[in-house]
């Protein structure tokens, strides 16, 4: 089973929680045991599992990546000024795979699924959600 989630991002850099949307797709699948893969299409965004309870963690992620990968010093910036966004997205990665346990995502209490925007705002980001059944 495969569905696409579309979101709008309103910041140049930020984390956007998509846990509920992915959870609804998992519930609708009626799969009891398997995996859900969450993959973002685009070279300047990523998917991360991170804490949602305290927003300072999300801000710390952005702050850390800004410190590690500053804006405006990369060869690709000559092309379109977003070399840092490509590097951040490459380090974080385009996807995550979560087990489905008893019909629900196997996330812990504090884990949520985030789209990491590194080159926004964007009117549309597409996230491909693929569910695989592991029941025999």
Could you read off the pLDDT of 60-79 as tens digits, one per residue?
999 999 999 999 999 999 99
CB 44 within 8 A of CB 111: no
Domain ranges of the chain: 9-133
CB 125 within 8 A of CB 5: no
**Token duo for residue 100:** 């489905």
Closest CA to 129 of 56, 41, 44: 41
Q: What is the pTM of this model?
A: 0.95
Beta bridge partners of 131: 36
Beta bridge partners of 133: 34
**Token duo for residue 79:** 């092309």
Encode pLDDT of 17-74 as tens digits. 999 999 999 999 999 999 999 999 999 999 999 998 888 999 999 999 999 999 999 9
User: How much is the average pLDDT of 111-122?
Assistant: 98
- Give, in words, the CATH class of 9-133: mainly beta
Closest CA to 4 of 130, 116, 95, 104: 130
Banded model confidence at residue 134, pLDDT cuts 50, 70, 90: confident
């Amino acid at each position: 089973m495969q569905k696409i989630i579309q979101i709008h991002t309103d910041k140049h850099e930020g984390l956007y929680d998509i846990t509920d949307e992915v959870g609804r797709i998992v519930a609708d699948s009626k799969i009891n045991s398997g995996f859900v893969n969450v993959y973002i299409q685009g070279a300047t965004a990523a998917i991360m599992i991170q804490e949602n309870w305290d927003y300072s963690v999300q801000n710390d992620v952005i702050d850390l990546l800004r410190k590690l990968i500053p804006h405006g010093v990369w060869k690709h910036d000559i092309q379109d000024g977003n070399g840092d966004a490509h590097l951040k997205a490459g380090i974080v990665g385009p996807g995550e795979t979560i087990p489905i346990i008893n019909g629900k995502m196997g996330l812990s209490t504090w884990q949520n699924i985030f789209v990491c925007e590194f080159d926004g705002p964007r009117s549309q980001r597409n996230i491909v959600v693929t569910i695989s059944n592991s029941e025999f």
